[in-house]
């Protein structure tokens, strides 16, 4: 026994981190050997005192970070056999997730059960168990574990700031649909559990549904919450705010009516009273009338105040309402982008870019056409946002109403030049369009009210600062990823710019040595594959971007006070006296001026200095590395077009490589600047030759499509897997297909497939186009669970479904070509006109109406029909390749 004590005490004193603990327990062990049992039995104490545990935990963390899942499992098992001190919730979670990443779901379930038995109050393990239940569609179990995780507590969940649950799984396969099912079956599921959801469970679930954009479901759940938990002030305010968010332009009467459904008349009366007092503010704003000149108005309405509720239930515009209205107007007015035979958006963007470049190219150091091609992408990003809100503003202006129009501003800091799906510049474009149309418009923000001084603490009143709208640079697809630069070997003479090139590795295999520029807009090989983490498969040698933050300026628009509205205990009154933090301020209005006179002037200040510096760096780099050949993508991005321009100025050559299986931007490239163009399909090569008859066109299918050698077999006895390939019919809020006809075709297709599903002849899958195209949440809202479809995330080259057939709706997809290379037949379901970009011969994929397509799918459940279709398409593909 004494030897064990001596050995243990020696280990204590050899670890610097545990000296304090060792000093505390060593004398106790020396005086009373039984104290050793206390240390041995206390796993947390053993973990802190055992010097091995920290080292092993770091090893496991390193393996987990490197995604070496089997190694994580082996390390955890080995460490746990040696000492239980390594057994922590975090280590257990890594073990569970490693099993999941390897697809060992039985191991996942075993480890979850054992882990929760060992750590029953661990919040992270309870959440993992809830996510596993979501993936299994065991929604009652999921809610039970979500509630247990909530009970376990989180320091991030404070009364006024609730952390939402995750809306989709990163490790387990589930997404927003699971929460929709939980919300739709809420009362039934809890009745089956014989439990009542806690107020915090309601709050987190409401926040989760709101985060997922499910405002109607969040509103319904809010009403349930207030019926169950009366008197909970924080829940009442959150639920009321959720109902408000779902009532733009529905009026205050609707809001009060919804609140009365909670059976808590006190809440309804309280908010109705607040909104009644806020009417003074709305009346004052209406009296002010339309904006004048270049005025920028920002209304600050404190959250949960009467003006907040009144503005949101008035003529209030946020992203959701803009999206809904844009689609409605597109259908009603037949917006031309939907049915034009040419790409009107790109044409308009290039025309704008050309006008912009005429007077600014000299300052950048390139020709006007070169600058136009360089800024084309940014103009397209911004035009995509501008067109819908310009048309909505025009429609609003037709009413000739003096009613205030509120545009949701959000935070005062707005990144500019952001990729169009997530850009917040749309709010400013909408405000500007409404202002120019003569509307009485206000940007509105809803910050939390300043905290009052603690009771008994005297604080000097402070004047409330006026808002400063700040535009900060975040240029989409310009700045490259952070990567380590490899040394350049010799002077290869070639520069490869990855921006937009689909397979840089393939290009490098065909170029005799090259300097690879670390560029933005670099594309990884398996595009839109959310099922796997992809690493870069090529090195980079050169970074051309400056770290000087001043080159991309920050714009600040200051505002000064117009009016502030105070509550004096009886009523709300407005005055031009500045607000302070010691008063009951309901709202205040600031006014400023646009910092530039027009859109082109703003873009000039935003990017011309940066481009000028970039061109200087390009010129020096080309000289240093003796580069005379530029290899760029056919999709026009800033870096690639500027590098190409300067290579051409040196008397060099420019070579285009594919962004997709089809040619891109062929009408905007200058044939006089190109030496060679590479195309994936024979039809694509013919398109390039027709557009540029004097440019050498190289047909090279293996750049993206492997030769059709390995074939997916037909498995007798298995149903056919019908994989619907998601596309992109809408760019943010701008439809580029006949959206009404397209959505109708989707609904009818899934309805027609349902009988085949019920007969057990097919299973229907949906392959989302990332998260910015047609994705699973979009489809669920459109068709529900018609045909009992499931999602599949793998790239078409990695799918392993039995007896597959790929189907595109309205327009073709490169996925169809990728499928045929593996022996997977494909077809396009199309009714009416659609501008298709798939560069293949007419004999490769059949374009069928709905009835013909479903009939063909039914016949192809037979092995002979499926095989015949595959062989026919593979033969046609060989001619294309």
CATH of the domain at 837: 3.40.50.2000
* 559-585 average pLDDT score: 91
In a 13 Å sphere around the CA of 672, the CA atoms on its Cβ side amount to 3
Relative orientation angle of helices 139-152 and 199-211, to the nearest 10 degrees: 110
Q: What is the 3-state secondary structure (H, E, C) of 296-311?
A: EEEEEECCCCHHHHHH
Report yes or no on 97 lying in a domain. Answer: no
Sign for the pseudo-dihedral over CA of 147, 153, 157, 163? negative
pLDDT (0 to 100) of residue 489: 84
**Separation of alpha carbons 666 and 498, rounded Å:** 18
Q: What average pLDDT does range 710-728 have in this prediction?
A: 91
Q: Are residues 535 and 631 in the same domain?
A: yes
CA distance 291 to 796: 53
Range of lowest pLDDT (261-270, 319-328, 665-674, 723-732): 261-270
Average pLDDT over residues 458-469: 88
Q: How confident is the model at residue 797 (pLDDT cuts 50, 70, 90)?
A: confident
Residue 863 has a CB neighbour count (10 Å cut-off) of 14
**In this structure, are 299 and 356 located in the same domain?**
yes
Stated pTM of the model: 0.86
Residue range 777-786: average pLDDT? Answer: 92
pLDDT in tens, 296-310: 999 999 988 889 988
- Check pLDDT > 70 for residue 22: no
pLDDT of residue 42: 60
Give 17-25 contacts, CB < 8 A, sequence gap 24+.
17/51, 17/54, 18/48, 18/49, 18/51, 21/45, 21/48, 21/49, 22/49, 25/49
Inside any domain, residue 374: yes
Mean pLDDT of the region 764-775: 89
Q: Are residues 808 and 841 in the same domain?
A: yes
What does the pLDDT look like over 537-569, one tens digit per residue? 899 999 999 888 889 999 999 999 999 999 887
Asked if 681 and 880 touch (Cβ cutoff 8 Å), the reply is yes
pLDDT at residue 834 in the model: 80
Alpha carbon distance 412, 445 (integer Å): 8
Residue 72 lies in a domain: no
Which residues are within 8 A (CB) of 735 and not within 5 positions of it... i.e. 6 or more apart? 326, 327, 330, 335, 337, 338, 729
List pLDDT tens digits, range 195-218. Answer: 999 999 999 999 999 989 899 999
Highest averaged pLDDT of the listed ranges 8-12, 139-143, 484-488: 139-143
User: How far is it, in rounded angstroms, from Cα 447 to Cα 699?
Assistant: 58
- pLDDT at residue number 19: 35
Quote the CA–CA distance of 209 and 214 in Å, as a whole number. Answer: 5
Do 326 and 384 share a structural domain? yes
Give the model's pLDDT for residue 38. 55
Write down the pLDDT at residue 707. 65
Asked if 359 and 384 sit in the same domain, the reply is yes
The 10s digit of each residue's pLDDT in 386-435 is 999 999 999 999 998 899 999 999 999 999 888 888 899 999 999 999 99
Does the residue 667 lie in any domain?
yes
Domains held by the chain: number: 4
Integer-rounded Cα Rg, in Å, for the chain is 31
Query: Which pLDDT does position 360 carry in this prediction?
Result: 95
Residue 502: what pLDDT?
85
In the predicted structure, residue 238 carries a pLDDT above the cut 90: no
Residue 326 has pLDDT above 70, yes or no: yes
For residue 687, give the nearest of 508, 811, 513, 836 by alpha carbon.
836
Q: What is the DSSP letter of 161?
A: B
Backbone angles phi, psi at 698, to 5 degrees: -105, 125
Average of pLDDT values for 566-594? 90
- Over the stretch 102-120, which tens digit does the pLDDT of each residue have? 999 999 999 999 999 999 9
Please compute the mean of the pLDDT values over residues 164-170 and round it to a whole number. 92
Q: What is the pLDDT of residue 170?
A: 86
Q: What is the pLDDT of residue 193?
A: 96
User: Do 362 and 440 fall within a single domain?
Assistant: yes
Looking at residue 10, its pLDDT comes to 43
State the virtual CA torsion across 224, 230, 231, 232 in degrees, nearest 10. Answer: -30
Name the phi and psi angles at 439, rounded to 5: -85, 155
Residue 456 pLDDT class (50, 70, 90 cuts) = low
Q: Which of 440, 353, 878 is nearest to 636 (CA)?
A: 353
Q: Is residue 187 part of a domain?
A: no
Q: 262 lies in a domain?
A: no
The angle that helices 51-65 and 89-101 make with each other, rounded to 10 degrees, is 30
CA-CA distance, 667 to 600, in Å (whole number)?
Answer: 23
d(CA 774, CA 735): 12
Tell me the pLDDT tens digit for each residue of 832-847.
888 877 777 777 888 8
Examine the pLDDT at 144 and tell me if it is beyond 80.
yes
User: Which of 661, 643, 789 lies closest to 725 in space, CA to CA?
Assistant: 789
- Is 689 within the bounds of a domain? yes
Query: Residue 528's pLDDT is what?
Result: 55
What's the token pair of residue 54? Answer: 């920290």
Mean pLDDT of 637-664: 93
For 338-351, the DSSP string reads: GT-SS-HHHHHHHH
Helix, strand, coil percentages for the chain (3-state, nearest 5): 50, 15, 40
Contact at 8 Å (CB) between 816 and 808? yes
Q: Output the average pLDDT for the chain.
A: 87
Question: Do residue 568 and residue 467 come from a single domain?
Answer: yes
Q: Are residues 359 and 376 in the same domain?
A: yes
- Where is mean pLDDT largest: 19-23, 276-280, 392-396, 797-801? 392-396
The domain containing residue 432 runs over which residues? Answer: 295-448+463-473+553-600
Distance CA 50, CA 7 (A): 12
**DSSP sequence for 285-299:** HHHH-S--TTEEEEE
Q: What is the structure's pLDDT at 526?
A: 61
Q: Which pLDDT tens digit goes with each residue over 31-88?
A: 444 454 555 556 566 556 677 888 889 999 999 999 999 999 999 999 998 888 889 9
Q: Where are the beta strands (DSSP E) in 341-420?
A: 405-408, 413-416
pLDDT beyond 60 at 176: yes
* Residue 137: strand pairing partners: none
Give percent above pLDDT 90 in the chain.
60
How many degrees, rounded to 5, is the angle at CA 78 between CA 76 and CA 84? 75
> Do 372 and 420 share a domain, yes or no?
yes
Residue environment code for 487-496, b if the CB has 16+ CB neighbours within 10 A, otherwise e:
eeeeebbbbb
* Chain position carrying tokens 């009745």: 191
154 bridge partner residues: none
Asked if residue 356 and residue 305 are part of one domain, the reply reads yes
Quote the DSSP letter at residue 786: G
Q: What is the pLDDT of residue 690?
A: 93
Predicted confidence at residue 848, as pLDDT, reads: 92
Q: For residues 211 and 55, give the distance between their C-alpha atoms in angstroms, rounded to a whole number.
A: 39
Residue 464 pLDDT: 92
Checking if the pLDDT of 164 tops 50, the result is yes
- Shared domain check, 523 and 405: no
What pLDDT, on a 0 to 100 scale, did the predictor assign at position 472? 92
Quick check: is 618 in a domain? Answer: no
Q: Are 641 and 739 in the same domain?
A: no
């Amino acid at each position: 026994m004494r030897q064990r004590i001596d050995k243990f005490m020696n280990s204590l004193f050899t670890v610097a981190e545990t000296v304090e603990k060792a000093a505390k327990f060593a004398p106790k062990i020396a005086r009373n050997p039984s104290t050793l049992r206390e240390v041995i039995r206390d796993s947390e104490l053993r973990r802190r005192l055992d010097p091995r545990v920290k080292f092993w935990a770091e090893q496991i963390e390193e393996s987990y970070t490197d995604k070496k899942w089997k190694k994580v499992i082996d390390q955890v098992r080995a460490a746990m056999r040696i000492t239980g001190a390594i057994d922590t919730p975090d280590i257990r979670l890594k073990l569970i997730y490693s099993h999941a990443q390897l697809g060992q779901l039985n191991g996942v379930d075993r480890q979850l059960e054992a882990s929760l038995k060992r750590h029953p109050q661990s919040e992270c393990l309870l959440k993992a168990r809830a996510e596993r239940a979501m993936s299994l569609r065991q929604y009652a179990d999921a809610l039970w574990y979500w509630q247990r995780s909530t009970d376990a507590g989180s320091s991030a969940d404070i009364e006024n700031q609730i952390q939402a649950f995750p809306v989709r799984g990163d490790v387990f396969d589930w997404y927003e649909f699971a929460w929709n099912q939980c919300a739709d079956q809420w009362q039934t599921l809890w009745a089956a559990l014989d439990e009542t959801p806690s107020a915090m469970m309601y709050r987190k679930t409401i926040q989760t549904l709101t985060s997922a954009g499910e405002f109607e479901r969040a509103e319904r759940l809010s009403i349930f919450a207030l019926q169950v938990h009366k008197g909970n002030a924080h829940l009442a305010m959150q639920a009321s705010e959720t109902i408000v968010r779902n009532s733009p332009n529905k009026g205050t009467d609707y809001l009060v009516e919804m609140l009365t459904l909670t059976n808590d008349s006190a809440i309804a009366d309280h908010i109705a009273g607040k909104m009644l007092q806020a009417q003074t503010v709305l009346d004052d704003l209406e009296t002010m009338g339309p904006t004048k000149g270049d005025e920028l108005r920002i209304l600050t309405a404190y959250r949960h105040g009467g003006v907040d509720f009144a503005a949101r239930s008035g003529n209030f515009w946020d992203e959701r309402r803009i999206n809904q209205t844009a689609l409605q107007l597109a259908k009603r007015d037949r917006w031309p982008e939907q049915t034009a035979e040419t790409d009107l958006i790109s044409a308009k963007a290039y025309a704008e870019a050309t006008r912009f470049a005429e007077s600014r190219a000299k300052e950048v150091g390139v020709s006007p056409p070169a600058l136009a091609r360089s800024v084309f992408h940014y103009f397209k990003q911004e035009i995509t946002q501008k067109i819908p809100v310009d048309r909505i503003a025009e429609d609003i202006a037709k009413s000739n109403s003096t009613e205030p129009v509120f545009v949701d501003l959000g935070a005062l800091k707005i990144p500019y030049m952001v990729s169009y799906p997530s850009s917040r510049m749309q709010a400013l474009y909408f405000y500007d369009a409404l202002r120019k149309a003569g509307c009485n418009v206000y940007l509105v923000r809803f910050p939390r009210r300043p905290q009052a001084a603690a009771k008994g603490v005297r604080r000097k009143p402070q004047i409330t600062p006026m808002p400063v709208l700040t535009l900060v640079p975040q240029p989409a697809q310009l700045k490259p990823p952070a990567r380590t630069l490899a040394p350049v070997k010799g002077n290869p003479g070639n520069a490869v710019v990855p921006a937009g090139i689909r397979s840089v590795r393939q290009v490098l295999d065909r170029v005799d040595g090259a300097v690879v520029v670390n560029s933005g807009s670099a594309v990884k090989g398996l595009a839109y594959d959310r099922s796997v983490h992809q690493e870069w498969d090529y090195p980079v040698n050169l970074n051309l971007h400056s770290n000087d933050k001043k080159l991309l300026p920050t714009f600040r628009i200051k505002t000064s006070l117009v009016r502030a509205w105070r509550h004096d205990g009886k009523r709300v009154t407005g005055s031009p006296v500045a607000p302070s933090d010691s008063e009951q301020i309901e709202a205040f209005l600031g006014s400023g001026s646009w910092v530039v006179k027009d859109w082109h002037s703003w873009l000039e200040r935003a990017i011309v200095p940066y481009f000028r510096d970039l061109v200087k760096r390009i010129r020096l780099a080309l000289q240093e590395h003796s580069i005379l050949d530029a290899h760029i993508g056919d999709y026009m991005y800033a870096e690639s077009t500027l590098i190409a321009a300067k290579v051409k100025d040196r008397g060099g050559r420019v070579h285009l490589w594919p962004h997709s299986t089809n040619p891109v931007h062929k009408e905007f490239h200058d044939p006089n600047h190109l030496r060679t163009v590479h195309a994936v399909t024979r039809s694509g090569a013919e398109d390039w030759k027709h557009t540029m008859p004097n440019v050498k066109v190289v047909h090279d299918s293996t750049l993206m499509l492997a030769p059709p050698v390995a074939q997916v077999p037909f498995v007798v006895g298995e149903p056919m897997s019908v994989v619907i390939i998601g596309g992109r019919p809408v760019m943010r809020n701008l439809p580029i297909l006949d959206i009404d006809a397209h959505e109708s075709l989707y609904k009818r297709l899934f309805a027609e497939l349902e009988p085949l599903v019920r007969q057990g002849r097919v299973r229907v899958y949906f392959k989302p186009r990332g998260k910015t195209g047609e994705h699973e949440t979009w489809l669920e809202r459109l068709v529900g669970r018609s045909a009992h479809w499931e999602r599949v995330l793998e790239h078409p080259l990695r799918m392993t479904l039995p007896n597959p057939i790929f189907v595109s709706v309205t327009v073709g997809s490169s996925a169809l070509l990728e499928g045929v290379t593996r022996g997977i037949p494909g077809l396009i379901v199309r009714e009416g006109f659609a501008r298709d970009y798939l560069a293949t011969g007419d004999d490769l994929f059949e374009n069928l109406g709905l009835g013909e397509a479903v009939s063909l799918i039914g016949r192809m459940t037979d092995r002979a029909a499926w095989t015949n279709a595959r062989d026919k398409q593979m033969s046609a593909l060989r001619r294309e390749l």
